[in-house]
Chains A and B, each alone.
Chain A
Amino acid sequence: MTWHATWARIRILASALDRDGAIARAVVLASDRDLNLDLTSAVQVAGTLASALDLDRAHVLDQARALAGDLVRDLTSALDSDHHRHRDRAVNRAAVTARDLARALDLALGGVLDRHDVPDRAAGGDLDLTRDLASALASYHALLCALANYPTLDRDRNLAADFTQYRNLAHGLACCLDRHSAGSVTADAKGGRSMPRMVRVAVRLLPRSWQTRYREEYRAELAQLCPSERYEYARRVLAGAWQLRRALAGTECPPDRVRVER
């Protein structure tokens, strides 16, 4: 397979917003012996995608929390409105916000589930967050359907009960996200933060027999770094993954073969 074909596949995957899949595919391609010189490029692409995903993940819960707050306001506004036109406008806003929120929750849930491939990370906090997000996501999909159908509903029907229920849902979710945000700060302070995606990709690029060792070694080093240093560390680990793979595979000459440029 040529690099162009590889790149095209990765781009298709990425454009389908399946960035996790794109990274996984890039890693598989990077392990493909036939690619040879394209390996470095595959690693770089995987790094870029992973980097984007890590940055997204750092903000996705914040985004979901902000959207949940917006939704509470939109639904309150719809509930309090006496005029159909004002209520319609508020409902339209709520529908857009709910759609964005559903997507943010989807991403957040995917991120949390993804973290569970790291041993000893299946902590209670993550499982609680997973459960809450999954439940919130299901509720919001239902809310989204209800809002989408709103224009076809009987305008004379008293919608107060529905909107009150939706607003309570949004409020509950906002509180849930706040609670989990506080929990993640505590976990960071203890050095228990999950391994960044880029480091996990780097580990997966190594020969299988070495992955456990380096996963643990990287985790120990990450635990010593402050959050602001972790991203750069992860980026460098990923950038050096192919070099490490070659070193472990023993395809290099002994270290004391020194040439000095004159």
Chain B
Amino acid sequence: MTLPTLLVLRAMLAEPAREMYGLEICKAADLLSGTIHPVLARLERFGWLESRWEDIEPAEEGRPRRRYYRLSPEGAERARAALNRVRIPVPAAEHAPQSPLIPRLTGGA
């Protein structure tokens, strides 16, 4: 598991029930925009994340609909376990994570 994956999980665990779109997750995880989709795709593929299209009419809103992501119940559990395993403090709900001490990680995407 890579550092970006851990940062994404940690950011989403801050508010596990909340749906976030790509740019929002980037901001919460302190990652650069445009870098997050491989991580999200992989987490979604393994069932850790669920996603859906925003329920709006693009013509009325004047913008394209967003893709929203949320941790699945199983994904939240496994994310907590993964973060604990590498000794990253799991954030308390409703609070953004603060400068964690993250060991160097290798493997996975």
Contacts and interface: CB of A to CB of B under 8 A. Distances in A.
B41 A247 contact: yes
Interface residues of A, number: 36
Interface of A: 190-191, 213-214, 216-217, 219-221, 223-225, 229, 232-237, 240, 243-244, 246-248, 250, 252-261
B37 to A, nearest CB: 5
Which 3 residue pairs across A and B have the least CB separation, nearest first?
A236-B34, A243-B38, A247-B41
Contact of B105 (A250, A256, A259): A259
B108 A257 contact: yes
A43 to B, nearest CB: 13
Contact of B107 (A220, A234, A259): A259
Contacts, number: 107
Interface string B1-45: 100010000000000000001110000000011110111011101
Contacts of A220: 21, 54, 63-67
Contact of B78 (A191, A213, A217, A256): A256
A19 B45 CA distance: 35
16 contacts: A191-B63, A217-B37, A220-B63, A220-B66, A234-B34, A236-B33, A236-B34, A252-B108, A253-B108, A255-B108, A256-B1, A256-B78, A257-B1, A257-B108, A258-B85, A258-B105
A247 B23 CA distance: 19
- Interface centre among A216, A253, A258, by most chain B C-beta atoms within 10 angstroms, is A258
Nearest to A225: B33
Contacts of A219: 64
Interface string B35-70: 101110111011010000110000000111111000
Given A224-B63, A247-B109, A260-B104, 5 more contacts: A220-B67, A233-B33, A233-B34, A260-B103, A261-B104
Contact of A236 (B35, B62, B86): B35
Contact of B37 (A190, A244, A253, A260): A244
Contacts of A213: 67
